[in-house]
Structure 1
Amino acid sequence: MAQVLEFKLPDLGEGLTEAEIVRWLVQVGDVVAVDQPVVEVETAKAMVEVPCPYGGVVTARFGEEGTELPVGAPLITVAVGAPASGADTAAQAGSRTAARPAGDTAAAPEASEGSGNVLVGYGTGAPPARRPRVRPQPPGATPPPPASGSAPAAPAQDTPRAAPAGGTRAGGDTPVNGDGPVPVISPLVRRLARENGLDLRELTGSGPDGLILRADVEYALRAAAAQGGRTTAPHPEPQARAAARPEGSAQAPASTAVGGGTRVPLKGVRGAVADKLSRSRREIPDATCWVDADATELMRARAAMNAAGGPKISLLALLARICTAALARYPELNSTVDLAAREVVRLDQVHLGFAAQTERGLVVPVVRDAHARDAEGLTAEFARLTEAARAGRLTPGELTGGTFTLNNYGVFGVDGSTPIINHPEAAMLGVGRIVPKPWVHEGELAVRQVVQLSLTFDHRVCDGGTAGGFLRYVADCVEQPAVLLRTL
């Protein structure tokens, strides 16, 4: 007899208290191995796959894609032990559902998005051949009964649904053929399509393996608007909406389209970035200084390194090496401010963050102990973290704990910037594009590779003299890389 164990959403670290289900990796009835990823979730820090500590048959899932769950909420139940037949699995799942108190929403599997506290359960041991989408019936239509011996079909998440009173879901709607959830990069993209009446199954994703990106949805919406087509169903009058809403049901969210604009929720990574930058602006009295530097010799040094064989050295790695050398001379900028104690805490180790633009927005991966790495080690770590960032596989630990940030905004084709400090750090070095410009070199006008460097710093940790000295040292190393030999 198999034992049914419940796997709950684990503590993902770094003070995270909730996560949003992005994609289920298993179905009810699937056999899973120990430590096999079963669900992909998005936290305020990163997109992560959650492995299950049990091996056996999945008997229930809790929450649909797009549902936000708190840490400690049930994710799945697994029948551990001897392989269970379909009837045994169904009986085990049914007994667990019956054992739950009435109205216990955390216990019922597969929460339905947009249905308040009403949840739909899976009572069978094997998954259905397909998960049909359900279209809303006109008012007064009589739903046909479900097939004998089968569980009610769970509506897919792409169609908005309203939960009737009494905790049951309207059934018998006309099913539409479908083969499970559509692969979408983010719940926000799925919500954007749903709120504009766009059927995701009609889109071809441009991401890996047909993954639908936000750009795909926005392109489809623009195309529909250009053709004069309506992408959003007309809204009923307020009285009609109130009459259609079941007594005691949750208030339906307001439309995101207001005055021709679109509201995008500040949540997940975007919300975390917004919170951190707002806090930085509130708490940190920042100032910025900048300087132009002749990077011709640095570019030649890099070319010579790469011509000598071995792993290629990135320009970002050389700039990072310069940063760590400068921080050794000016440790005030590798610090943080303890407001409660009214102290500046100078840090012994340099954990170097670097800004990386991804499909999910701007993230700042952190290279641990950057001061102890050489150019080759920095290049390899930058490459690893960048690849993980673009794939959405960075862990919370790889996105936090930075002590200084290097921001190469030159990749966007701009010369300068006054960036916002990555709270609770004390400074950020910005690097613009390297372009040929007229420059006085050795007393003569010449065309040189010039870069603009900017340093934004917390004026509480140091004065302009220290910040200027740091930036001047960085510029000297860029112009004459041999200066670095003193610290190698």
Structure 2
Amino acid sequence: MAQVLEFKLPDLGEGLTEAEIVRWLVEVGDVVAIDQPVVEVETAKAMVEVPCPYGGVVTARFGEEGTELPVGAPLLTVAVGAAEGSSGSAASPSSPSSPSSASSSLSSPSPSPSPSSGSGTESSGGSGNVLVGYGTGAPAARRRRIRPDRLDRAVAEAPVSVAPVVAAPVAEVLVAEAPVHEGPVPVVSPLVRRLARQHDIDLRRLAGSGPDGLILRADVDRAIRTAEETAAATARVQAPVAAVVAAPNGVAAASDAERIPLRGVRGAVADKLSRSRTEIPDATCWVDADATELMAVRAAMNAATGPSAGPKVSVLALLARICTAALARFPELNATVDTAAREIVRLPGVHLGFAAQTERGLVVPVVRDAHTRNAESIGAEIARLTELARTGKLSPAQLTGGTFTLNNYGVFGVDGSTPIINHPEAAMLGVGRIMPKPWVHQGELAVRQVVQLSLTFDHRVCDGGTAGGFLRYVADCVEQPAVLLRTL
């Protein structure tokens, strides 16, 4: 007897409330094993392969590629215990480590988990895991396709109490005469509520297309489009002769402009930067520094040979080590502000974020416990995280929890910037390009390697004297690396 279990989009951690389907890894009718990745999703922080906690036959998928789903929304359904005939059977949930020993039928785990859990529990026979690499270690079964007649028979034999298997098309959500909801509005995602507020959408008049009438972001987006189309139609009726609204350069009207949704990494960056500028009273100070000696020291380090030479050290690694030394002297900047409690929270350790530009947008990987590392160790970790960022394999945990950010925008060929603080941190050090410039050195004009350093800081955690002292110490270490030896 087959049992159809519904697998919901799990909580991927770090406060994420939704994810966009990037690529399905299975088709309806495929046989999946416990912890086999079934879909690749993009959150506001990273690309994640989501494994299914059940073993069986995929009977339905919910959402096309490019669709955004809130946490707890149905992802797919799996017929557990469906016969596969002579070709074998799906892996048994009770034996995740031995898929090859499964018989022609599967044991039936408990009913589908609650939306809050997002995945099966161990007691249900599933792995209960939500991310690849944290599962039972069962090898992924080779994808096998069930013949349609056997799939239909397996679904027909499923218990009546389980959720419907076939995904219904999304219903129309904005009805002018729709009755107002009584009681709590069925919305889970804070993002959906905020989006509705921004566009004056009354959630009480929306009919949700999610399970049990849950209002999804797609429902709100559809309502926004409908409202815009209605307003445009009304304007056409009231104004037969439309005014031509041209851009300053005389190009197309606004109605012909390209609209790009703020989603994924771009949307997360927009939200964080907007929040930073709204909440943080930031100020910026900057200074030019002679980096000639720092570049010479780096060249000497990397030219060393022998057993103690070690790997090459990057300029970014040296600047990161200088930052940790400066934060030890000025701990006020390794902090955050609890706005609700009206308290400055000084943090005991330095988790150093660094800005990295990728094809998916700007991300900030975090070097954990940077205050305990030397330049070589920091450089190795920066290289490892940068490679993960370029391949889109950074986990949400590797992109959060930073206490201070180092932003090397000099790689873009610019000298200076006033960076926006990476909320909820209290400061960010910006580094421009290092290039030959005329400089007064030892009383004479000379050509030196000059860099501009800028510090943007939260004026609530300290005043200009502290910020200036921090920046001056960083500049001194750049100009005279021997200063740093006192703290090593």
Please say whether Structure 1 and Structure 2 have the same fold, judged by a TM-score greater than 0.5.
yes
Q: Tell me the amino acid that sits aligned with residue 42 of structure 1.
A: E
Question: Once the 2 structures are TM-superposed, how far is the Cα of residue 83 of structure 1 from its aligned partner?
Answer: 4.9
Describe the SS at the equivalent of 2:288: strand
Which residue matches 1:225?
none
Question: Once the 2 structures are TM-superposed, how far is the Cα of residue 46 of structure 1 from its aligned partner?
Answer: 2.1
Change (3 A) 1:94 1:448: farther
Change (3 A) 1:24 1:306: same
Q: Distance in 2 between matches of 1:294 and 1:393?
A: 37
- One of 273, 278, 285 as aligned partner of 1:277: 273
Q: Distance in 1 between matches of 2:348 and 2:20?
A: 36
Which residue matches 1:482?
482
- One of 249, 255, 259 as aligned partner of 1:263: 259
Question: Once the 2 structures are TM-superposed, how far is the Cα of residue 433 of structure 1 from its aligned partner?
Answer: 0.3
Question: Once the 2 structures are TM-superposed, how far is the Cα of residue 429 of structure 1 from its aligned partner?
Answer: 0.2
Q: Tell me the amino acid that sits aligned with residue 333 of structure 1.
A: L
Q: Distance in 2 between matches of 1:395 and 1:93?
A: 36
Question: Once the 2 structures are TM-superposed, how far is the Cα of residue 59 of structure 1 from its aligned partner?
Answer: 2.3
Which residue matches 2:303?
307
Question: Once the 2 structures are TM-superposed, how far is the Cα of residue 288 of structure 1 from its aligned partner?
Answer: 0.6
Question: Once the 2 structures are TM-superposed, how far is the Cα of residue 10 of structure 1 from its aligned partner?
Answer: 0.7
Change (3 A) 1:302 1:80: farther
Q: Distance in 2 between matches of 1:396 and 1:111?
A: 32
Say yes or no: does 1:466 pair with 2:466: yes
Q: Tell me the amino acid that sits aligned with residue 282 of structure 2.
A: D
Question: Once the 2 structures are TM-superposed, how far is the Cα of residue 313 of structure 1 from its aligned partner?
Answer: 1.4
Say yes or no: does 1:109 pair with 2:177: no
Identity %: 80
Change (3 A) 1:487 1:332: same
Describe the SS at the equivalent of 2:45: coil
Which residue matches 1:317?
317
**Are the counterparts in 1 of residues 355 and 362 from structure 2 also a CA contact under 8 Å?**
yes
Say yes or no: does 1:287 pair with 2:304: no
Q: Distance in 1 between matches of 2:158 and 2:233?
A: 41
Change (3 A) 1:257 1:369: farther
Deviations, residues 254-288 of structure 1 (Å, cap 9, x unaligned): xx994331111222221221111111111111111
Which residue matches 1:366?
366
Q: Tell me the amino acid that sits aligned with residue 91 of structure 1.
A: R
Describe the SS at the equivalent of 1:50: strand
Q: Distance in 1 between matches of 2:277 and 2:157?
A: 54
Question: Once the 2 structures are TM-superposed, how far is the Cα of residue 99 of structure 1 from its aligned partner?
Answer: 6.1
Deviations, residues 27-60 of structure 1 (Å, cap 9, x unaligned): 1222323322211112222221111222333222
Q: Distance in 2 between matches of 1:110 and 1:25?
A: 21
Q: Distance in 2 between matches of 1:417 and 1:54?
A: 51
TM-score by length of 1: 0.67
**Are the counterparts in 2 of residues 7 and 77 from structure 1 also a CA contact under 8 Å?**
yes
Say yes or no: does 1:93 pair with 2:155: yes
Q: Tell me the amino acid that sits aligned with residue 286 of structure 1.
A: D
| Range with greater deviation from structure 2 (361-370 or 471-480) | 361-370
Describe the SS at the equivalent of 1:262: coil
Q: Distance in 1 between matches of 2:158 and 2:441?
A: 79
Q: Distance in 1 between matches of 2:346 and 2:370?
A: 16
Q: Distance in 2 between matches of 1:40 and 1:376?
A: 35
Change (3 A) 1:457 1:5: same
- One of 296, 317, 320 as aligned partner of 2:292: 296
Change (3 A) 1:34 1:314: farther
Q: Distance in 1 between matches of 2:162 and 2:329?
A: 63
Which residue matches 1:424?
424
Contiguous gaps of at least 5 residues in structure 2: 85-145, 174-208, 210-224, 226-231, 235-251
**Are the counterparts in 1 of residues 2 and 157 from structure 2 also a CA contact under 8 Å?**
no
User: Aligned-residue CA RMSD in angstroms?
Assistant: 3.0
Q: Tell me the amino acid that sits aligned with residue 298 of structure 1.
A: L
Which residue matches 1:393?
393
Q: Tell me the amino acid that sits aligned with residue 269 of structure 2.
A: V
**Are the counterparts in 1 of residues 416 and 454 from structure 2 also a CA contact under 8 Å?**
yes
Which residue matches 2:376?
376
Say yes or no: does 1:41 pair with 2:80: no
**Are the counterparts in 2 of residues 67 and 111 from structure 1 also a CA contact under 8 Å?**
no
Describe the SS at the equivalent of 2:11: coil
Describe the SS at the equivalent of 1:259: helix
Alignment of 1:243-258 (within 5 A): 258=254
| Range with greater deviation from structure 2 (351-360 or 465-474) | 351-360
Contiguous gaps of at least 5 residues in structure 1: 118-166, 168-194, 196-236, 240-255
Question: Once the 2 structures are TM-superposed, how far is the Cα of residue 459 of structure 1 from its aligned partner?
Answer: 0.8
Deviations, residues 50-106 of structure 1 (Å, cap 9, x unaligned): 1122233322212111222221222122334575253332233356698678xx8xx
Q: Distance in 1 between matches of 2:169 and 2:355?
A: 36
Which residue matches 2:79?
79
Question: Once the 2 structures are TM-superposed, how far is the Cα of residue 485 of structure 1 from its aligned partner?
Answer: 1.3
Say yes or no: does 1:348 pair with 2:344: no
Give the aligned length.
Answer: 354
Q: Tell me the amino acid that sits aligned with residue 358 of structure 2.
A: T
Describe the SS at the equivalent of 2:430: strand
Change (3 A) 1:407 1:337: same
Q: Tell me the amino acid that sits aligned with residue 303 of structure 1.
A: A
Change (3 A) 1:411 1:83: farther
Alignment of 1:428-467 (within 5 A): 428-467=428-467
**Are the counterparts in 2 of residues 432 and 453 from structure 1 also a CA contact under 8 Å?**
yes
Q: Distance in 2 between matches of 1:397 and 1:95?
A: 42
